[in-house]
Every structure is written in structure tokens, then in C-alpha cells.
């Protein structure tokens, strides 16, 4: 898990990869896997964030909190599950130090792919990459990752909805129906091959941002295209909750400050 460990190396706090299993009593079906981004504090690393926006970066573990609360809720409900549910939560701090990963460094994910770290503040996708690779080892029926991944999703959707990317139309219909029932709105965004081409390099497999000619464009789609390289599942979904994790405007559906949506 070189990508996960690379993000963690700048902090004195050791990383933790939390693995949760909720077992069905009788099931021969493949499990359902959740992967949650758990950056417990995100300074941006060497690619340091502006100090004005850094104080709220304690919420960069909200994806992890969503996965944990999902597993706990299913356990408390006590109903018989038709399949096992697995929660995978990589937990790190992203801090600058003499030990921290630097822009231009190359790391290797669990599937062997090489990644050039163009920006250390694009760290969430690095830890999720290894989480998705590990999820594959369970041969799950579905893989769903949840993350406060990109600021670009706020540009696209504001605080109106979470951004959803998926390669499974049926899974999209299910999450869209659930969102309508709960008021936790979602909006589907594209996984065009065009975006995948922007994260691929000639001498290195992938870049954790995009090619220089595409910098600043389609940030949320670029991040999703990057993650797609680390799962072999035909039923994968990425939910970017960066826009709905904190109430930015006057949306009456959400709490002030941290909203608790999707948890």
C-alpha cells in the first residue's frame, strides 16, 4: 500500500487501515464493500493549503465517518443481511515535514501502478486508490467509495447535491431512489474516457492531478477517472461529498456547519 503510506509519512501519527466486517449468518453471495476517505487533518502537505481554509480540514475524514456509521447502523438494526458488508477505512494525517512526500515523487499503489504525485494536496485519491485495490481482493458484488475529495465539486454543484460517478446504471438508480427518499440529493457526473486520458502519462502510469494542458479543468471528473484505475469491479460507485459536508449557503435541507449527510 505504497500510496497510502506515502501520504502518512509526513506525520508523527502512525497511519491506521481500519477494516470492518459485518457478517451475514447465511450467505453465499459476494460481499458489499465500502471504502471511506479518512484524512484526519489535511494541511495539504508540502503543497500547503491557504491558512484561511485550513481550520475546517478536520472534516476531511467524513467519508470514513460515513462508512463507519453505515456499518454500525446495520449492526444495530439487527436484521438478517443477505450478504456480508465490509468497511475499509484508510486513516492518515497529511502534514508537511522533512519526511513528507514531495511534488514530483513517484509512489506505487497496491496493484503495482506507478503514480507521480504532482500535488500533495490531492492526497485523498492516493489513499482511496489502495483502499479500492484492497477491496478487489474480496471479490465484492459492489464497491462504493465515499470521500470529501475535490473542491471542484463545489464549483459544479455547490452545496445542492453530492456528486456521483459510477459504471453501473442499476446501482445509480438505487442510490438515486434512496436519495429521493431521504432528501440527501445526488447528481450523476460523467466518467468519459477523455478524463481517463488526462491522468495517464508516458513514462509513469498515472498522475494524481492531470496533464499540464488540462490543469484546472474538470477536477471532480479527473479525480473519479483516477480512482477508476484502481478497481476491477463492474459495479463501482464514487460519491464526492465535499460540497455537502458543510453548509455553505442557505440550503434549508442542511444543518449549519457540518451537515452529517450520508452518515
Active site residues: 49, 125
Looking up cell 456547519 gives 257
Q: Whole-angstrom Cα distance, residue 257 to residue 5?
A: 31
β-bridge partners, 162: 186
Looking up cell 471511506 gives 36
DSSP state of 211: -
Question: CA torsion, points 92, 90, 125, 206, in degrees to nearest 10?
Answer: 100
DSSP E strands, the chain: 16-22, 32-36, 38-42, 85-94, 106-108, 114-116, 142-147, 162-166, 186-188, 206-207, 236-240
| 242, 153 Cβ separation under 8 angstroms | yes
| 132, 23 Cβ separation under 8 angstroms | no
Amino acid at each position: 500500500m505504497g500510496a497510502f503510506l506515502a501520504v502518512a509519512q509526513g506525520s508523527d501519527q502512525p497511519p491506521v487501515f481500519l477494516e470492518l466486517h459485518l457478517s451475514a449468518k447465511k450467505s453465499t453471495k459476494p460481499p458489499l464493500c465500502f471504502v471511506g476517505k479518512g484524512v484526519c487533518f489535511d494541511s495539504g502537505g508540502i503543497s500547503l493549503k491557504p491558512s484561511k481554509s485550513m481550520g475546517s480540514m478536520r472534516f476531511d475524514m467524513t467519508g470514513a465517518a460515513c462508512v463507519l456509521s453505515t456499518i454500525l447502523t446495520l449492526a444495530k438494526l439487527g436484521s438478517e443481511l443477505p450478504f456480508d458488508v465490509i468497511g475499509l477505512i484508510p486513516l492518515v494525517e497529511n502534514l508537511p515535514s522533512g519526511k513528507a512526500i514531495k511534488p514530483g515523487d513517484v509512489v506505487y499503489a497496491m496493484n503495482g501502478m506507478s503514480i507521480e504525485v504532482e500535488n500533495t494536496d490531492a492526497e485523498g485519491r492516493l489513499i482511496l486508490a489502495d483502499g479500492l485495490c484492497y477491496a478487489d481482493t474480496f471479490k465484492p458484488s459492489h464497491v462504493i467509495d465515499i470521500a470529501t475529495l475535490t473542491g471542484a465539486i463545489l464549483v459544479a454543484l455547490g452545496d445542492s447535491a453530492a456528486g456521483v460517478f459510477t459504471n453501473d446504471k442499476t446501482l445509480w438508480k438505487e442510490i438515486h431512489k434512496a436519495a429521493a427518499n431521504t432528501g440527501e440529493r445526488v447528481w450523476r457526473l460523467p466518467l468519459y474516457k477523455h478524463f481517463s486520458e488526462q491522468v495517464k502519462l508516458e513514462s509513469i502510469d498515472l498522475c494524481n492531478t492531470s496533464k499540464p494542458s488540462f490543469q484546472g479543468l474538470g477536477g471532480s471528473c479527473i479525480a473519479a477517472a483516477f480512482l477508476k484505475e484502481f478497481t476491477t469491479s463492474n459495479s463501482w460507485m464514487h460519491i464526492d461529498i465535499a460540497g455537502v459536508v458543510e453548509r455553505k449557503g442557505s440550503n434549508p435541507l442542511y444543518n449549519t456547519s457540518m451537515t452529517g449527510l450520508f452518515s
